[in-house]
Structure 1
Amino acid sequence: MVSGTVAVDTAHALRLESVRKVYGSGSNAVTALDGVTAGLRRGAFTAVMGPSGSGKSTFLHCAAGLDRPTSGRVLLGDTDLTGLSENALTELRRQRIGFVFQAYNLIPSLTVRQNITLPLRFAGARVDEDWLREIVARVGIAALLDRRPAELSGGQQQRVAIARALVTRPEVLLADEPTGALDTRTGRQVLDLLRGLVDTVGQTVLMVTHDPVAASFAHSVLFLADGRFAGELREPTPDQVVRRLTGLGEW
């Protein structure tokens, strides 16, 4: 078997197995994740929720290879991220993972097209014009390619950020509070867009959110409490999510 690969789990695009993450040492040690095992179903929209300090951000960072687990392992497809070098992890994130954050992180001096294709320029890869046309059409910004970020609304800027995350055809799209800076109406449009990408092209999406309405756009919600996996809710409604979150206070 090639180093860094494992038996393929075709059901999951990404999986955390017994992941424990401790920051600091001795009396200052903080356990952010405590033996979490959870998988993202391939071609599904999964949300992660939990109270403040539950480990949501650490879960996302470990899933993305941005943080190394103290123990356990993270699998992206058939690749075990845990043993990869920093250079290999950087290359993997560049090619196989897309990122969308609350902050749009667009470069003001670049056009929309240049912002979208920036990951390809960093990778020294050519732009697939057919794929570029498809994704900008899907996210609704085909007419905005020559504009600069300052000429766009917040919702339009987030759509550019989503297109940039998709331009490398990632196996998994990771979104950290992607609607946190948007008004309710625009936020729902972005959530509709993410769900549509899952339902129409089979994009796997993981979203960390604190918003029960945002979570209800997902196929399933994974709950964390005190760094531990606290259950899953399939086909959630906002009310169901609120009730489950309220129960986590007794975890």
Structure 2
Amino acid sequence: MRLESVSKAYGDGAGAVTALDDVSFEVPPGTFTAVMGPSGSGKSTFLHCLAGLDRPTSGRVYLGETELGGLKESALTAVRRTRIGYVFQAYNLMSALTVKQNVTLVSRLSNSAVDEAWLAEILGRVGMGEHADRYPNQLSGGQQQRVAIARALLTRPDAVLADEPTGALDTRSSQEVLRLFRQIVDETGQTVLMVTHDPVAASYADSVVFLADGRLAGQLPRPTPDQVADRMTHLGNW
């Protein structure tokens, strides 16, 4: 995944708000990258452009060699469905469906065959194999987020993007989810990009990318929570 001179503005004329300002960045494949910045720095827009949820005002977004901006809406929807796994903060599970039904929902809606062996493997990998027939209201918050991660992995996507995936979880559940992301990257070579506000969560990543006022404001490899917190403190003066 990469952005090439991407800018994104919302609104027109004097009232336009620039969320991203000429940002170029490439996400290394097979790595875990965290994205951080103050409120309003452009983190969510950065993620949405990479996921094809927002089209940039200028610049180009690539997934592999595919330029997302050059695709028609139907083709872009197909890319989002099959090549990008997206994990939301609020899980977005259907309460009337079981764990297994939630994980396979997108495939069934698109009339795609479900690889039952792969389904069993990813449910086992996220620790939900024994809970496949349970409903969301029978699960903890951490377990529900694990289901959401399994759903994102079902299509064997090129990358998994996560928007504040631990924001609604307690400390223990957050640690479980973050360890799972780390395991997915280390054991399967998956690419994970996560927006977070939490220095501890960011420390699970291989590197942290910082945004401020819609622009890149630095990168920190092999981050520790203290290093991330210190860098975030100084972003206010960017």
For residues 151 and 55 of structure 2, the distance between their equivalents in structure 1, rounded to whole angstroms, comes to 25
Aligned partner of 2:118 among 125, 131, 134: 131
Shift of 1:123: 2.0
For 2:212 and 2:145, how far apart are their aligned partners in 1? 29
Partner of 1:66: 53
Partner of 1:82: 69
Kept in 2, the 8 Å contact 1:46–1:205? The answer is yes
- Asked whether 1:210 is paired with 2:197, we answer yes
Alpha carbons 1:55, 1:226 under 8 Å: kept: yes
- Show the 5 A alignment for 1:111-190: 111-190=98-177
- Give per-residue Cα distances to partners, 1:179-237, cap 9 Å, x unaligned: 01110011011000001000000110000000000000000111000000111111100
* Deviation of 1:80 (Å): 0.4
Give the RMSD, CA atoms, in angstroms: 0.7
Partner of residue 99, structure 1: 86
Could you tell me how far 1:247 is from its partner in structure 2? Answer: 1.4
Q: Quote the offset at 1:124 in angstroms.
A: 1.2
C-alpha distance after superposition, 1:10-56 (max 9, x if no partner): xxxx0011100011111101110000011111000001000011000
The reply on whether 1:249 has 2:228 as its aligned counterpart is no
2:216 matched to 1:229?
A: yes
Q: 1:3: which partner in 2?
A: none
Instruction: State the match for 2:34 in structure 1.
Output: 47
Letter in 1 for 2:77: T
1:56 match: 43
Report the residue type matching 1:94 in the other structure.
R
Find the aligned partners of 1:84 and 1:150 in 2 and give their Cα distance. Answer: 38
Q: Aligned equivalents of 2:86 and 2:128: distance in 1?
A: 18
Distance in structure 2 (CA, Å) of the matches to 1:122 and 1:35? 37
| Whole-angstrom CA distance in 1 between matches of 2:14 and 2:180 | 45
| Structure 1 counterpart SS, 2:114 | coil
Aligned equivalents of 1:233, 1:151: Cα separation in 2: 39
User: How many residues are aligned here?
Assistant: 238
Distance 1:169 1:134 in 2: 12
The percent of aligned pairs where both chains have the same amino acid is 68
User: What amino acid is aligned across from residue 97 of structure 2 in structure 1?
Assistant: L
- What whole-Å deviation, never above 9, does each CA across 1:123-154 have from its counterpart, x for those lacking one? 21111111111101110000001111111111
Matched, 1:200 2:191: no
What CA distance in whole angstroms lies between the structure 2 residues aligned with 1:78 and 1:100?
A: 23
Tell me the distance in 1 between the aligned counterparts of 2:106 and 2:31. Answer: 24
4+ runs deviating over 6 angstroms = none
Q: How does 1:24-39 map to 2 (within 5 A)?
A: 24-39=11-26
**Which letter maps to 1:189?**
E
Report the AA paired with residue 206 of structure 1.
L
Counterparts of 1:22 and 1:113 in 2: how far apart (Å)? Answer: 39
For residues 87-140 of structure 1, give each alpha carbon's deviation from its aligned partner in whole angstroms, at most 9, with x where no partner exists: 111110001000111101111111111001111112211111111111011100
SS in 2 for 1:41: coil
**Contact kept in structure 2, 1:119 and 1:168, CA below 8 Å:** no
Q: What is the TM-score with the length of structure 2 in the denominator?
A: 0.99
Counterpart among 15, 23, 29 of residue 2 in structure 2? 15
SS of aligned partner of 1:34: strand
Unmatched segments (≥5 aa) in structure 2: none
Q: Distance in 2 between matches of 1:190 and 1:168?
A: 20
2-structure distance, mates of 1:223, 1:212: 12
